[in-house]
Amino acid sequence: MSTAKKKVVAKTESPSPTTNTGTSLKFYKTNDQAQLPTFATKQSACFDLYANLVNGEEVQYYQAIATKQLPRRVSFDINSNRSFIQLNDSERMLIPTGLIADIPAGFSIRLHSRSGLAFKQGVYLTNCEGIIDSDYVDPIFAMVTSISNVPVKIYGGDRICQGELVRCEKYTLDESDEAPSQKTDRDGGFGSTGT
């Protein structure tokens, strides 16, 4: 197995020149088995990220009620000829993607659950939305949880989550001497718009 890093560029392309921003998002592959992100369709808002599971390596996880991080070794399935990891009910696991993103300044990557994976297998992002800042230059992981009643096998090369390149607006955080005034006809606080 080669651990040499490879520089790869994935350019965000739009089907029409009138909507192409020309912004590119670069990725470094941490190993030869890592897969580049892909857009499923020409109009996809997000790109798919793939699980990068290397046979014999360890993946970090927390059991359902545990407070200590544990390792679980990636296994090999002779029937499918693919590496996999087992995710049990209510466990939280860091699935490696084998990628490091070179995010342009002024942008971030937002990670979202894949709706098909969440609905069909009960596997979704633990933190609902992962946010990767432009100054983060370490490997990307998908932090997943299973709410399935049965163990779920995640295979190397499975689409594990989706990412979105988002422009970040700069703003300041200031203290106010006065409480905010009513801006609309809304009346009441938490839960005031009904159930």
The predicted-structure confidence for 20-41, as pLDDT tens digits, reads as follows: 567 899 999 999 999 999 999 9
Q: Report if residue 77 sits inside a domain.
A: yes
- Residues 70 and 86: their CA atoms lie apart, in Å, by 13
Q: Report if residue 151 sits inside a domain.
A: yes
C-alpha angle 4/8/10, rounded to 5°?
A: 155
- The tokens for 156 are 């190397």
CATH of the domain at 53: 2.70.40.10
Q: Cα separations (Å) of 2 from 31, 45, 96, 163? A: 6, 33, 16, 26
Range of 69's domain? 42-97+105-167
pTM given for the model: 0.83
- Do residues 30 and 100 touch, judged by C-beta distance below 8 A? yes
The predicted-structure confidence for 168-177, as pLDDT tens digits, reads as follows: 999 999 999 9
The predicted-structure confidence for 106-138, as pLDDT tens digits, reads as follows: 999 999 999 999 999 999 999 999 999 999 999
The alpha helices in the chain, defined as continuous H runs, are 115-121
Q: Report if residue 162 sits inside a domain.
A: yes
